[in-house]
């Protein structure tokens, strides 16, 4: 049976300024949904709000996970229920190795007291799939990592935790072609009937490797268009301008009616 992440008429403020202005979307397990839009459209705000970042204040609307209202739950409780967020700019944590961080996160989310030996077997398997050198497991989390290495580590974390819904915030930014292919393969390995992926991106290039079931276009805190993968192809060919022009015409028409 499919599980659902439902964003319902979501309004969000940051520092007293409204960023999201009534976003509604649905993601089911077994689906990959892409959120696209120009810079500053509210994509990262949406991702952080879904995950429960305290900086973002929900003033209206709901976030429902499998029918449960999680709008007020802290981030750790959302993670335990199966949500995962891959950050656009992952933080560095000095003194904490990748291996220790991931084992601690695994135990916290799954509540499974996995042995060190069994966890290292699991970690090695996932690192091999991402073509990561085993020495990375002993390095401090993201310290001195390149942009591509940080993104691979985020995908590694996702593969270890096995979330029901993964929210990937511009995972493709800053990646060269080879790194993009490897990261895309890691994401593809996570897709399936038991999981859903919300792929937030500014560009269309990662969608050449991961075909979305739905595409939503966000602009100035509102969804101005939605469709299937053909919509992403249109954006690649024509840019966002044709959608922004159409949206502005709709706004003018609505204002004239009022």
CATH 3.30.9.10: does it fit domain 4-257?
no
How far apart (Å, rounded) are the C-alpha atoms in residues 208 and 54? 34
Provide the pLDDT for residue 76: 92
* Structure-model confidence comparison of residues 236 and 34, the more confident one: 34
Quick one: DSSP state of residue 91? P
Q: Which residues, at least 6 apart from 62, have a Cβ–Cβ distance to it below 8 Å?
A: 6, 8, 9, 10, 69, 71
Provide the pLDDT for residue 247: 56
Residue pair 218/201 in contact by the 8 Å Cβ criterion:
no
Distances (CA, A) of 147 to 22, 84, 180: 33, 20, 11
Q: Which residues, at least 6 apart from 119, have a Cβ–Cβ distance to it below 8 Å?
A: 99, 102, 103, 106
pTM for the model stands at 0.87
Q: Which residues, at least 6 apart from 157, have a Cβ–Cβ distance to it below 8 Å?
A: 84, 86, 102, 105
Strand, coil or helix: 165: strand
Burial 198-226 (b: 16+ CB within 10 A, else e): bbbbbebebbeebebbbbbbbbbbbbbbe
Provide the pLDDT for residue 251: 41
The pLDDT tens digits for 117-168 are 999 999 999 999 888 988 999 999 999 988 888 888 999 999 999 999 999 9
The pLDDT tens digits for 209-227 are 898 999 999 999 999 999 9
pLDDT over threshold 50, residue 189: yes
pLDDT over threshold 60, residue 253: no
Provide the pLDDT for residue 255: 41
Average pLDDT, the chain: 89
Share of the chain above pLDDT 70, in %: 95
How far apart (Å, rounded) are the C-alpha atoms in residues 44 and 60? 18
Q: In the numeric block, which tokens belong to residue 66?
A: 């499998």
Give the E-state strand segments of the chain in sequence order: 4-14, 17-28, 32-36, 57-65, 68-69, 83-86, 93-97, 140-141, 165-169, 196-201, 214-219, 222-227
Q: Which residues, at least 6 apart from 90, have a Cβ–Cβ distance to it below 8 Å?
A: 142, 150, 151, 153, 154
């Amino acid at each position: 049976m499919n599980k659902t992440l439902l964003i319902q008429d979501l309004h969000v403020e940051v520092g007293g300024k409204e960023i999201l202005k009534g976003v509604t979307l649905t993601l089911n397990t077994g689906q990959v949904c892409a959120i696209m839009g120009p810079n500053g459209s509210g994509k990262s705000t949406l991702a952080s709000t879904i995950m429960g970042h305290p900086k973002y204040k929900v003033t209206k609307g709901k976030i429902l996970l499998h029918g449960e209202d999680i709008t007020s739950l802290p981030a750790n409780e959302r993670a335990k229920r199966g949500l995962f967020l891959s950050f656009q700019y992952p933080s560095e944590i000095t003194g904490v190795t990748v291996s220790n961080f991931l084992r601690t996160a695994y135990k916290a989310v799954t509540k499974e007291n996995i042995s060190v030996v069994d966890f290292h077997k699991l970690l090695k398997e996932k690192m091999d799939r991402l073509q990561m050198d085993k020495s990375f497991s002993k390095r401090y989390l993201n310290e001195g990592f390149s942009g591509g290495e940080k993104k691979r580590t985020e995908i590694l974390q996702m593969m270890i935790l096995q979330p029901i819904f993964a929210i990937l915030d511009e995972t493709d930014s800053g990646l060269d072609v080879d790194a993009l292919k490897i990261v895309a393969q890691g994401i593809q390995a996570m897709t399936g009937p038991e999981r859903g992926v919300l792929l937030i991106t500014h560009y269309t290039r990662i969608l050449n490797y991961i075909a979305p079931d739905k595409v939503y276009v966000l602009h100035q805190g509102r969804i101005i268009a939605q469709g299937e993968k053909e919509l992403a192809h249109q954006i690649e060919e024509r840019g966002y301008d044709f959608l922004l022009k159409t949206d502005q015409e709709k706004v003018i028409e609505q204002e004239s009616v009022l």
